[in-house]
Chains A and B, each alone.
Chain A
Amino acid sequence: MTDWIDIASLDDVPQRGARVVKTALGCVAIFRTAEDEVFALDNACPHKAGPLAEGIVHGKSVTCPLHNWVISLDTGEAQGADDGSVATYPARVESGRILLSRAALRARVAA
């Protein structure tokens, strides 16, 4: 199956942290939770495009470093009173490697 792109080792992303992957259309943020789940979201807050990868990760959420919007890593939706969402991409961990869905990234280019 070539539908998954091997991005990096899970250890390259700190627990409760994030790193970015550069693409032709801006960065995708790869998050790792305390429970070692990984999530991939556009690295731009729906509010003022703050770099979500620089935020504080808690539970399955990240808080944008610019104005403290809290974004769900699961759905990309802003939490609480704020309204907005960012795109999410399928990501998974296999044998300690982080894999991103090639099809989803391609769809992003096409969109």
Chain B
Amino acid sequence: MTEKLIVIGAGMATGRMLEHLFDAGAEYDVTLFNAEARGNYNRIMLSPVLSGDKTYGEIVTHDDAWYAEHNVNCRFGERIAGINRAAKTVTAENGDVLPYDKLVFGTGSNPFIIPMPGHDLEGVIAYRDLEDTERMMDLGPDNKCVVIGGGLLGLEAAAGMAARGVDVTVVHIMGHLMERQLDEAAGYLLRRALIDKGITVKCSANSKEILGENGKVKALLLDDGTELPCDLLVMAVGIRPNVKLAQDSGLAVGKGIHVDDQMLTSDADVLAVGECVEHDGAIFGLVAPLYDQAKVAAQTLMGAQAQFVQKELSTKLKVTGCDLFSAGDFADGEGREDIVFRDPARGVYRRLVIENNVVKGAVMYGDTADSNWFFGLIRDKTDIADMRETLIFGPAYQGGTPLDPLAVVAALPRDAEICGCNGICKGQIEDAIAAGATDLGAVRATTKASGSCGTCTGLVEQVLAVTLGDDFVIPAAASICGCTDMTHEDVRRMIKSQRLTSMPAVWQECGWKTSCGCHVCRPALNFYLLADWPLEYQDDPQSRFINERKHANIQKDGTFSVVPRMWGGITTPDELRAIADAADKYMVPTVKVTGGQRIDLLGVKSEDLPAIWADLNAAGMVSGHAYSKGLRTVKTCVGTDHCRFGTQDSTGLGIKLEKELWGSWTPHKLKLGVSGCPRNCAEATCKDIGVICVDSGFQVSIGGAAGMDLKETELLVQVATEQDAIDVIKAVTQLYRENAKYLDRIYKWMGKVGLEWIKATVESDRDALVERFELSQTIYRKDPWAEHIETKADRYRPLTNLALEAAE
């Protein structure tokens, strides 16, 4: 008979343990209780959810289908009332009594709430689960928030909210931030970086009382009398293992639930894993040891021998885009010496703590590229006497010729960790390869290595290359340009997963070989950064092609063309007169009607651009972005206003679309068309996005082309209302902005990801996509001409005129 296994808590450790059990084909009848009304998700990724980088759906690790496939009886949203270990039964909150053969505690931890006056006011929360995250996501630029706690969790909460425009103050009781991971100097650099992001940081600050009004939080009062007003107060001061239930059941409990090396508690039929356990005096908060525990617990449940061993831990973090690393013991002490390296301009700081010619601890800030090497020195207690002089500069300076990277990988032991996110060692990858996983995709599918953040993709490929020899050719996917070996897709993934929000960060993290890129990669990076981080990243005009830098199209003789916007192709006599006047005044040699239903003034001199724009602005016209990788035009027919066949107001919809979408940057140019009936006079079915109005609504189709390639659009969705059509178009535009390779039109992108994926994603994520599109448009939906007249007019003129000087 199949044994019954009851698991209490659907967290990261128990989720991983169940995976191991099912992967090994263990015969258990599993019931999974969870107090949160949902299954396993990746709690570490709540920060990207908070900052808007990911959605909850993306961080779910096990979905309903997975539980169903493994016959897991899910009881989410239910707590346990009691446990009778003698009878081996668990009583659920609703009175159900369930027998077990084995019981696993995964009750995790509780956030610690300082019991100061006012801690029970509405609006005082911890940062622990999705509900907390959602509370923070509800805040906007009009809100103030105070975060108590300058540790990792508190700073991630602060940074996530600051990214949403919230006015955030961090209150930390210690003298510097993250004092457990960082020394004072690194803490200072971190503080400076946070202040640069607009976050107020108060260290050595004692909270006295939380002030409220009508039962709701109003402000935090500090010891020194300072009052910090807030709409929400987040307390992120630490966690405590959740041992209540274990204690009530009579299990041995200290700081956490006592477990032995097999993860067994004081009862041989009861195991515990995760943040709720205490092993050999230690409790655990980082994910790597939890995953180790999960593996051991699974082995124990299957009757196999396994042993949990605590490892020397290092912390490699990214807080709000700042790289941090610390390992070992870096407190000052007798007989300890420091080696310190600072480069304030680059914001780089490194400190090694040495004792008896052995590295005891390391702190790195800003540049953590060599952290693994230093960690290895600490772990292996390497004698560093011979390399002491150059030690701080890292492995590249330790004499000899630089090693071939493949040789370095070949020399790694089997237990060297390759994928930090999933705790996958080189040996596991080698085993997977021996079992038939002979390319990156297969290794990723079977071991999960490189499947999370993707930073170790290159290493995994090198393990493949070393193991398979000539049978494996590292796929030569085309890199962006000669500055890097990475593809557009890899770089986009890195920008998102590593929160790279500046071009130097991308160059650094992705190993650019040139000092500042080239004309191929810089425009692509500029687009990726502004599309993924509209608030954090500042558009760099010097990384744009001249047309986008000067908001006009360069012509072969160095003059420019000027195209004012005509919303939906509609103009007025006044506008036409202003265009005619401008053409006369600036002696425009050619005036042409374009295919996008507007008028092009060709042959304007660079120095005349601000003046002609000012004249057009004065007549109410703005830039038509005829030069941009962005929204160009929305071509329309006359629709129901005049046409006897029109079914809807196509002109009106076109104007609305253009007013919503203008100014947005996209991977390549974006042209729309709206036709009022299937006769399709606006030629909507060869546009990037086309709308055909029919009696019953609006057919939105995408992926047309009428250039070097000819393509008819394919139907994305038919919707009933104009608003639905606008929302769907915003959503698909945003999806394209977030995912496509720079300079791929929609049809090319669609060829790579497939129309079905686009359909499904637009359907499931429509609201979130629209929201992100709107967020970006708060920055970019404006007239660049007006802005340049105001701030950059002199850039369009020569520096000086030396014609007389030189002729002397």
Contact = CB atoms under 8 A, between A and B. Distances in A.
A25 B805 CA distance: 12
A36 to B, nearest CB: 13
Interface in A9-68: 12-17, 19-25, 27, 30, 34, 48-51, 54-59, 61, 63, 65-66, 68
A59 B554 contact: no
B798 A65 contact: no
Contacts of B522: 56, 58
B519 interface: yes
A109 B546 contact: no
B721 interface: no
A105 interface: yes
Interface stretch (B494-502, B537-545, B651-659): B537-545
A22 B805 contact: no
Contact of A30 (B517, B554, B799): B799
Given A24-B803, A24-B806, A55-B519, A66 B514 contact: no
A70 interface: yes
Interface in A57-111: 57-59, 61, 63, 65-66, 68, 70, 98, 102, 105-106, 108-109
Secondary structure of the A contact surface, majority rule: mixed
B801 interface: yes
A19 B803 CA distance: 16
Contacts of A58: 514, 516-519, 522
A99 B543 CA distance: 26
B550 A19 contact: no
A23 B802 contact: yes
A106 B550 CA distance: 32
Contacts of B435: none
What range describes how many residues of B lie at the interface? 20 to 34
A22 B543 contact: no
A65 B546 contact: yes
A50 to B, nearest CB: 7
A22 B542 contact: no
Contacts of B806: 23-25, 105-106, 108-109
A12 B554 CA distance: 22
Nearest to B805: A5
B798 A27 contact: yes
B627 to A, nearest CB: 12
B807 A12 contact: no
A16 B798 contact: no
A19 B798 contact: yes
Contacts of A21: 798-802
Contacts of B807: 24, 109
> Most chain-A Cβ atoms within 10 A of its Cβ — which of B519, B546, B556, B799?
B799
Nearest to B792: A14
Interface residues of A, number: 41
Contacts of A27: 798
A7 to B, nearest CB: 6
B510 to A, nearest CB: 16
Given A54-B546, A54-B550, A68-B519, A14 B541 contact: yes
B802 A59 contact: no
Contacts of A8: 799-800
Nearest to A16: B542
Contacts of B544: 56
B799 A20 contact: yes
B798 A22 contact: yes
B197 interface: no
Contacts of A70: 518-519
A57 B542 contact: yes
B95 interface: no
A30 B794 CA distance: 15
A56 B523 CA distance: 9
A12 B803 CA distance: 20
B515 A54 contact: no
Interface in B763-808: 794-795, 798-807
A19 B517 contact: no
B515 A59 contact: yes
B558 interface: yes
Given A56-B522, A58-B517, A59-B514, A65 B545 contact: yes
Contacts of B804: 24
B753 to A, nearest CB: 29
Given A23-B806, A57-B542, A109-B807, A66 B554 contact: yes
B321 to A, nearest CB: 20
A13 B799 contact: yes
A34 B799 CA distance: 19
A42 to B, nearest CB: 13
A40 to B, nearest CB: 11
A48 B557 CA distance: 9
Nearest to A27: B798
Contacts of A20: 798-799
A12 B805 CA distance: 20
B558 A51 contact: yes
A102 B518 CA distance: 32
Contact of B519 (A22, A63, A98, A105): A63
A13 B606 CA distance: 16
A7 B382 CA distance: 58
Interface in B513-564: 514-519, 522-523, 541-546, 549-550, 554, 556, 558
A22 B558 contact: no
A70 B481 CA distance: 14
B546 A55 contact: yes
Contacts of B803: 22-24
B802 to A, nearest CB: 5
A24 B795 CA distance: 21
Contact of B518 (A17, A34, A63): A63
A66 B519 CA distance: 12
Nearest to B547: A65
Contacts of B546: 54-56, 65
A15 B516 CA distance: 11
Contacts of A15: 542
B801 A56 contact: no
A61 B550 CA distance: 20
Contacts of A17: 541-542
Interface of B: 514-519, 522-523, 541-546, 549-550, 554, 556, 558, 606, 794-795, 798-807
17 contacts: A5-B802, A5-B805, A14-B795, A16-B516, A21-B798, A27-B798, A50-B558, A54-B549, A55-B519, A56-B518, A56-B519, A56-B545, A58-B516, A65-B545, A65-B546, A65-B554, A109-B806
Q: Nearest 9 A-B pairs (CB), nearest first?
A: A63-B519, A56-B519, A54-B546, A16-B542, A51-B558, A65-B546, A22-B801, A19-B799, A8-B799
Given A19-B798, A27-B798, A59-B516, 4 more contacts: A25-B806, A54-B549, A58-B519, A109-B806
